[in-house]
């Protein structure tokens, strides 16, 4: 029994080590209207744990994130986006953070979830 446990532990750690380097990606819908939004999101999100690359598409308001699967997950990344003041998919942006965004972003309504029609 003890032997079996050792084997499964080895199998598990091998599996986890493989996961370690695995890169996953996620697209998050948000609201970006100007270059400042893009800059804010790209420059801050890249420092989030496990995030490997961030690119924001201004036209479609989508954040494309590549991340290390073992270190973070899409929910954590969405949370990080909302902490910047921007909404992320269904999560509203943090209102306090939104107030600190550059005027242009606030004026244009970055960070406000799109109204569903
Ligand atoms: Cu903006």
53-101 pLDDT, tens per residue?
999 999 999 999 999 999 999 999 999 999 999 999 999 999 999 999 9
pLDDT at 12: 74
Question: At residue 8, does pLDDT exceed 80?
Answer: no
Torsion 106-28-44-53 (CA) sign: negative
Task: Report CA(76)–ligand 1 centroid distance (Å).
Answer: 23
Q: How far apart are CA 9 and CA 29, in angstroms?
A: 39
For residue 75, the CA-to-ligand 1 centroid distance in Å is 23
Place of tokens 């270190």: 71
Tell me, in angstroms, the distance from the centre of ligand 1 to residue 25's CA.
Answer: 24
pLDDT score for 104: 85
**Spacing, Cα 57 to ligand 1 middle (Å):** 13
Q: How far is the CA of 93 from the centre of ligand 1 (A)?
A: 13
For residues 6 and 14, give the distance between their C-alpha atoms in angstroms, rounded to a whole number: 12
Q: Determine the average pLDDT of the residues in 28-47.
A: 94
> Hey, what domains does the chain have and what are their CATH numbers?
21-108 (3.30.70.100)
Q: Residue 3 CB: number of other CB atoms within 10 A? A: 7
Q: How far is the CA of 35 from the centre of ligand 1 (A)?
A: 6
pTM above 0.85, yes or no: no
Mean pLDDT of the chain: 87
């Amino acid at each position: 029994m003890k032997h079996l446990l050792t084997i499964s532990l080895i199998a598990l750690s091998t599996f986890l080590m493989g996961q370690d380097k695995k890169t996953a990606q996620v697209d998050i819908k948000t609201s970006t209207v100007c270059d400042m939004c893009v800059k804010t999101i790209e420059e801050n999100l890249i420092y989030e744990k496990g995030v490997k690359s961030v690119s924001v598409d201004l036209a479609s308001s989508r954040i494309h994130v590549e991340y290390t699967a073992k270190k973070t997950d899409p929910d954590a990344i969405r949370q990080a986006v909302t902490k910047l003041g921007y909404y992320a998919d269904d999560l509203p942006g943090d209102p306090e953070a939104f107030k600190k965004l550059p005027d242009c972003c606030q004026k244009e309504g970055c960070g406000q979830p799109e109204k569903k029609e």
